[in-house]
Copies of this chain bind each other. A is one copy, B any other.
Amino acid sequence: MQPTIAVIAPGAMGSGVARRLAEHGAAVPTLLDGRSAATVARARAAGMQAADEAAVAAADIILSIVPPAEALGLAGRLAPALRAAPRKPVYVDCNAVNVATVQAVATIVAPTGAGFADGGIIGGPPVPGGSGPVLYLAGPDAARLGVLRDLGLRLQVLDGPVGAASALKMSYAGITKGLTGLAAAMILGAERNGAGPALHAELAASQPQLLARFGKGLPDMYAKAYRWVAEMREIADFLGPDDPARLIYEGMAGLYERLAADMAGEKRDIAALDAFLDTDKADAAA
């Protein structure tokens, strides 16, 4: 029988995952009411089918792939249909949310009788010909999700409770997206104080791997900064109220908020970052 894997919603990651599943023979229902024409078109192109909550709840597996702030809301929206479903799916929260949030989602899903797994996606959306991101899974029902491997996804099942996959996602993103934030903050600070070319030259001399990383990572970030704001706040909450390092990620959220506004507006910070990356290091020091 054809496996049915509901994927909500058809964003960049969701539609990429859906296309991979559909190409491997899965039916991929999703929720499209109230979405823009562009989103509906992207979902269709990925092989997804418009469905209502009952049809989503009738799937074998439901993958929740939404912005962090919508993770709890989606579970609440689907809970009545999950409770009514005669055959219960496994609900997988794949979102970049902190451990407490994914535990709260699990608490919403549990009384419906559906299975539940904690998921964390590391890597960019699947692209044709590429291997795609890794979907980390944790929790007792993670072992029931092996069909996703047959459907073209890369799975890693962690030996840990619900929360372990989200903790991995938080800590990995906190390092990689955090490093991009440090670079943006310090390059802009150096440029404001006339030290941009000297910073470029010193990094080229003593930190060439980091400089090469920034040359790709900063431009890749510009269009995603708006999405990273909420993710940085999730990482701050992941660390909890007693960890002094949570302030680091509150600052990151503020930085990405500013960069997102700049990207949508005057692009002055973006231009300064681009100018830094284009610096001819020979100009830096006399």
Contact = CB atoms under 8 A, between A and B. Distances in A.
Interface string A168-211: 10111011101101111111111001110011001100110110
Contacts of A246: 251
A168 B248 contact: no
Interface string A248-286: 111110110110000000000000000000000000011
Contact of A164 (B194, B202, B244): B194
A248 B238 contact: no
B206 A245 contact: no
A186 B99 CA distance: 13
Contacts of A167: 189-190, 193-195
A160 interface: yes
A112 interface: no
Contact of A244 (B134, B198, B206, B257): B257
Interface stretch (A22-30, A53-61, A66-74, A151-159): A151-159
Oligomer copy total: 2
Contacts of A181: 245, 248
B174 A182 contact: yes
A246 B247 CA distance: 10
Which secondary structure characterizes the binding site on chain A? Answer: helix
A165 B188 CA distance: 15
Interface residues of A, number: 63
A11 interface: no
Nearest to A174: B186
Nearest to A99: B193
Contacts of A206: 122-123
Interface of A: 99, 122-123, 134, 136, 156-161, 163-165, 167-168, 170-172, 174-176, 178-179, 181-190, 193-195, 198-199, 202-203, 206-207, 209-210, 238-239, 243-252, 254-255, 257-258, 285-286
10 contacts: A136-B202, A159-B286, A161-B194, A164-B193, A172-B202, A184-B245, A193-B238, A244-B258, A246-B251, A247-B247
9 smallest CB-CB distances across A and B, nearest first, come from A244-B254, A247-B251, A248-B251, A167-B193, A185-B245, A167-B195, A171-B190, A171-B186, A174-B186
